[in-house]
Amino acid sequence: MEYVNIPGTRERTSRLVFGCEQLGGQDWGRIDMTEMLRAVDAAVDHGINMFDTADVYGLGESERRLGSALRRHRAKTLIMTKGGVRWSTCENRARARTRLDISASYLRAAVHDSLRRIQRDCIDTYLLHWPGDDHQIRDAVGELSRLQDEGKLRYIGLSNCSDRQIGVATQVNAIAAAASEHCLVGPRVPANVLRRGREGRLGVLAYAALGRGLLAGTYSRDSEFPKDDRRHRLATARPKWFGEALRVAGLVTPIAARMGRTTAQVVLRWALDTPGVSCVICGMRSSSQLMEDLGATGWNLERTEWEELEGLAGGTWRTAPARRVFRTGQPGAVENA
């Protein structure tokens, strides 16, 4: 396993981070929870020490299951969770109603609820899942700073944010990490956020590198997702983006074969080798997926190989549809990592 020291922290963090959204058991089709929990155990055995979740994943279930699964690994694992999305369930609705809420009172309650679910006294890294306007960010980071002073949080970060929003947050407190989508055929980490990573001022965490599985080389144009799988409704599953992901995956496959790697391993390596990226968050449903993803570590792309991959999408990611679905105070669907 490769490790990195996140700037401003004392942590030696695995560059592959185990993404635990699917551990919530919702919105990803059928999940074999027993097998996924085996993968969590195996990940620790293979050197992964950072696990990423959020309170809204499975409406608390991901945190609960992760906390239980890591109880015996407490001394050698780090948990990163996210908050700031309030949810409510309704009769006759299969999915929860959600809204952005990063008010001080809600965040304080959310942090204490997350601590209870993960069965720890302190959260290693806590991210604002979706930042709001400048005033909201300042108030939210101020409250997280108080929770940090109380020993409830070790480090603070932002998710799905711009460089300007990071700048606003750093006026209040040090920001250790920022998580952003980073995909060959989807949105990328903002350039100025990557610059902070290259300059050693921020830990940059890339997620969705595999396009929620579409770049793993395992799907075809005949593939369909069930209605209880979020990919059934997200923009990446619509014909234009689905077709583009399959096109790019098809171009990566012979490159990977030339390297003696799988398509997924090469795509993950592209993300890991992106200058400024500290870690890559990977959702892993099984031990077999874990073992394949581990094959993305311990080697590097040549610069020419990285540039070849970088050019495959032809810039289409710049026009990928925005995926933020929250408006402050209004209900929406949980569709974002």
Catalytic residues: 57
Residues 73 and 271: their CA atoms lie apart, in Å, by 28
Q: What angle do CA 231, 235, 240 make, to 5 degrees?
A: 110
Residues 210 and 267: their CA atoms lie apart, in Å, by 7
Residues 324 and 337: their CA atoms lie apart, in Å, by 10
The DSSP bridge partners found for residue 280 are 16, 206
In a 13 Å sphere around the CA of 97, the CA atoms on its Cβ side amount to 10
Query: What CA–CA distances, in Å, run from 120 to 71, 81, 183, 303?
Result: 9, 12, 33, 42
With H, G, I as helix, E, B as strand and everything else as coil, classify residue 335.
coil
8 A C-beta contact, residue 186 and residue 211: yes
Which tokens go with 88?
A: 């409510």
Which tokens go with 277?
A: 């990226």
